[in-house]
Chain A
């Protein structure tokens, strides 16, 4: 007998902001979980297990916070798992939860990811000095900027591509009520005039630091049949990892990302991702990662990704919309960012994405990455269940 099909029947997010001073960590996660349950029209008693994820515990200063969050998430008396796979964790958490359903261990699972970055300072949380190890150079931007420069040199992309991505994502965010940044007066000129932080990455081309949580209810075929709204069906999902640094590593287009995408496409029967996939939510914390991931994920040939961005293909009304929600560039509660990508992909194929809905989206990809471009998690969701 094959795997049980997995359906997303509930999605909930908080309104992502710089600091949620009105709620505790428990209050934050409960808000997202409650909204996901409401969306699925389920109660806490309907949940068989809870799978929670977040990025490093230093970001809130709580070691293994799932222990303290068991009560707030209705997990008492139930199994509770805590996933941590760096920046990809939001995606990985959803996949671990999906496996519980696919393996028929549980029927209905609550999965949730969060970060409450206002509790500390993420940049320095990432920059603890460790003897004999290469420092991360004051936050993630310092680590990734050289990889962006390598991409620009390799592809010959014009300097302006990064600003086009940021301008698009920040405008998309205006259509998403949950997005953190709502810059109503955004212009391309403002993006291009913003201060240079880590050359070539400008201030407006970086992600914000957010407080937020995202939750999903995953269930089996029977659960999906009872769902009040159309489910999103998981058609493929995979994780891949490679070491941080090694001779021969391609930091611009990591092999682990290519392998992960290939595995997902194989499971979902995707022959040509550019043609077969209607919308993509990918993890773009720095603007230039849009063209880089377009190539890594097989939507464009090597060195050609920036042309899709430049010609407007990735705009909300383009041929291959990317980051319709505004993406990580507009909202970044780090541990939750991957799950938001997965959830936004599911919203699209459920037809529930509101103002940032892509007309007729039937198949959408959710993508997350983390560490030194070394951890990848992806899923492909569809409006129709997988072939039995």
Chain B
């Protein structure tokens, strides 16, 4: 059974440095209301719900259980949660719809990075015996990758600055973005990465609705059909990886059918300028493709939601008729360890 499944609606918060006194539920609820309103569905109409978040951002165990209050899970709902970016929650929901057990799915994810020092928090993702005790932070690891790229002749600092400038310029048209317009390159945070090469730290949430077959056409004028979606993980030890390449992204793209025909739009989850260089190489993208028209993760990077937002942004462009075939990418782990690729298409116009 090859059921056609589409993204039929997308909503996100206005991503900000801090959502201050808003709880995660309070931050999430308007997004859930908005995405349901776009389709006219109510919670009770949804066949399956799946979310992505991290206890380590919230600083408490089982943080997602309270987010469920925002969904209004009564009467009880068929529901699951991944401790991953929401892009993987979408993947789980996609498999659920493929089985035919449900015709619609609500997918959401959220992250509040503001309560803690994010660079320190993310070190807890690393090998707990050999690496985490050294507290190498996310910027330092990305800087290792950036320097490897420069040493390999794949990029240089002016080229990285151009990625940053293009992203923030594109973000001027995105009211949800946190960093927009002209942003100074700034000082080195960890050489060779400057402030401008790094993503903003912020709070945010996103949600999408998936629907299968005819249901998708009822709910959306121009559904963004998921033609393929796949994800792959690499070794954890940075020393055993070639940081200038992303074989997991390339393999996921192959499995998702990305190379069968050219795409017109790409939304890459590249929190650091240097990571866009790696992903462009892995995905064999040339300058004819529009990359990150939303501004990408360099304009807003709410951890745990930023990957789902890439899929949402790509789908929204198809909904609006601004793209016919788009690629969306999400990443997780240090230096692009785990990657997901989705290929979305609109019906011919």
Footprint of B on A, CB under 8 Å?
1-3, 24-25, 55-71, 75-86, 92, 95-96, 99-100, 102-105, 125-126, 128, 130, 133, 238-244, 246, 254-256, 259-260, 263, 371-372, 374-375
Q: How far is the CB of B119 from chain A (nearest CB, A)?
A: 13
Bound-state Cα–Cα, A104 to B1, Å: 8
> Are the C-beta atoms of A70 and B76 separated by less than 8 Å?
no
Known: A58-B55, A63-B125. A259 touches B76 (CB 8 A): yes
* 17 pairs of residues in contact across A and B, judged by CB atoms under 8 Å: A55-B61, A57-B55, A62-B128, A63-B54, A63-B121, A63-B124, A63-B125, A67-B332, A70-B233, A70-B337, A84-B55, A96-B80, A128-B60, A133-B66, A242-B76, A243-B68, A246-B74
Known: A77-B232, A81-B88. A239 touches B78 (CB 8 A): yes
In the complex, chain A residues whose CB is within 8 Å of the CB of B88:
81-82
- Starting from the known contacts A68-B128, A77-B232, 20 additional A-B residue pairs (CB-CB under 8 Å) come to A56-B62, A57-B124, A62-B124, A64-B56, A66-B83, A69-B236, A83-B92, A84-B81, A85-B80, A85-B81, A86-B65, A96-B92, A104-B1, A238-B78, A241-B49, A241-B73, A242-B77, A260-B76, A374-B68, A375-B65
In the complex, chain A residues whose CB is within 8 Å of the CB of B237:
71
In the complex, chain B residues whose CB is within 8 Å of the CB of A66:
83
Bound-state Cα–Cα, A60 to B132, Å: 13
> Are the C-beta atoms of A80 and B233 separated by less than 8 Å?
yes
Bound-state Cα–Cα, A96 to B95, Å: 9
Known: A64-B332, A256-B76. A244 touches B124 (CB 8 A): no
Which chain B residues numbered 45 to 78 have a C-beta less than 8 Å away from chain A? Answer: 49, 54-56, 59-62, 64-66, 68-69, 72-78
Interface string of B223-245 (1 = CB under 8 A from A): 00000001111111100000000
In the complex, chain A residues whose CB is within 8 Å of the CB of B75:
242, 255, 259
> Are the C-beta atoms of A83 and B248 separated by less than 8 Å?
no
> Are the C-beta atoms of A81 and B84 separated by less than 8 Å?
yes
Q: How far is the CB of A143 from chain B (nearest CB, A)?
A: 11
Q: How far is the CB of B48 from chain A (nearest CB, A)?
A: 9
> Are the C-beta atoms of B69 and A100 separated by less than 8 Å?
no
> Are the C-beta atoms of B248 and A81 separated by less than 8 Å?
no
> Are the C-beta atoms of A82 and B83 separated by less than 8 Å?
yes
Of B91, B92, B128, B338, which contacts A61 at CB under 8 A? B128
In the complex, chain A residues whose CB is within 8 Å of the CB of B233:
67, 70, 75-80
In the complex, chain B residues whose CB is within 8 Å of the CB of A96:
80, 92, 95
Which chain B residues numbered 280 to 339 have a C-beta less than 8 Å away from chain A? Answer: 332-334, 337-338
> Are the C-beta atoms of A81 and B82 separated by less than 8 Å?
yes
In the complex, chain A residues whose CB is within 8 Å of the CB of B100:
2-3
**Chain A: which residue is nearest B48 at the CB level?**
A239
Of A85, A99, A100, A240, which contacts B77 at CB under 8 A? A240
Q: How far is the CB of B42 from chain A (nearest CB, A)?
A: 16
- Binding site secondary structure of chain B: mixed
In the complex, chain B residues whose CB is within 8 Å of the CB of A126:
61-62
> Are the C-beta atoms of B96 and A99 separated by less than 8 Å?
yes
> Are the C-beta atoms of B128 and A64 separated by less than 8 Å?
no
**Chain B: which residue is nearest A69 at the CB level?**
B236
Bound-state Cα–Cα, A255 to B247, Å: 46
B251 contacts chain A at the CB level, 8 A cutoff? yes
> Are the C-beta atoms of A76 and B234 separated by less than 8 Å?
yes
> Are the C-beta atoms of A57 and B68 separated by less than 8 Å?
no
> Are the C-beta atoms of B333 and A67 separated by less than 8 Å?
yes
> Are the C-beta atoms of A244 and B61 separated by less than 8 Å?
no
> Are the C-beta atoms of B78 and A240 separated by less than 8 Å?
yes
> Are the C-beta atoms of A2 and B1 separated by less than 8 Å?
yes
Bound-state Cα–Cα, A3 to B81, Å: 23
Of B1, B66, B95, B338, which contacts A100 at CB under 8 A? B95
> Are the C-beta atoms of A243 and B61 separated by less than 8 Å?
no
> Are the C-beta atoms of A103 and B56 separated by less than 8 Å?
no
B187 contacts chain A at the CB level, 8 A cutoff? no
> Are the C-beta atoms of B91 and A81 separated by less than 8 Å?
yes
> Are the C-beta atoms of B332 and A83 separated by less than 8 Å?
no
> Are the C-beta atoms of B98 and A105 separated by less than 8 Å?
yes
In the complex, chain A residues whose CB is within 8 Å of the CB of B72:
243
Bound-state Cα–Cα, A169 to B29, Å: 43
> Are the C-beta atoms of B234 and A99 separated by less than 8 Å?
no
Most chain A CB atoms below 10 A, which of B82, B101, B124: B82
In the complex, chain A residues whose CB is within 8 Å of the CB of B62:
56, 86, 126, 371
In the complex, chain B residues whose CB is within 8 Å of the CB of A76:
233-235
Bound-state Cα–Cα, A287 to B42, Å: 39
> Are the C-beta atoms of B64 and A67 separated by less than 8 Å?
no
**Chain B: which residue is nearest A122 at the CB level?**
B61
Interface string of B334-347 (1 = CB under 8 A from A): 10011000000000
Of B74, B101, B121, which contacts A243 at CB under 8 A? B74
Of A69, A79, A105, A260, which contacts B232 at CB under 8 A? A79
Known: A81-B92, A125-B61, A128-B59. A241 touches B79 (CB 8 A): yes
B127 contacts chain A at the CB level, 8 A cutoff? yes
**Chain B: which residue is nearest A3 at the CB level?**
B99
Q: How far is the CB of A339 from chain B (nearest CB, A)?
A: 15
Q: How far is the CB of A73 from chain B (nearest CB, A)?
A: 10
> Are the C-beta atoms of A68 and B236 separated by less than 8 Å?
yes
Q: How far is the CB of A15 from chain B (nearest CB, A)?
A: 22
> Are the C-beta atoms of B95 and A80 separated by less than 8 Å?
no
In the complex, chain B residues whose CB is within 8 Å of the CB of A86:
62, 65
In the complex, chain B residues whose CB is within 8 Å of the CB of A263:
78
**Chain A: which residue is nearest B72 at the CB level?**
A243
Known: A64-B125, A70-B236, A371-B65. A80 touches B79 (CB 8 A): no
**Chain B: which residue is nearest A374 at the CB level?**
B65
> Are the C-beta atoms of B82 and A84 separated by less than 8 Å?
yes
Of B49, B80, B129, B333, which contacts A92 at CB under 8 A? B80
**Chain B: which residue is nearest A126 at the CB level?**
B61
In the complex, chain B residues whose CB is within 8 Å of the CB of A92:
80
In the complex, chain B residues whose CB is within 8 Å of the CB of A95:
80
Bound-state Cα–Cα, A65 to B124, Å: 9
Known: A67-B332, A96-B92, A244-B68. A77 touches B98 (CB 8 A): no
Bound-state Cα–Cα, A75 to B72, Å: 36
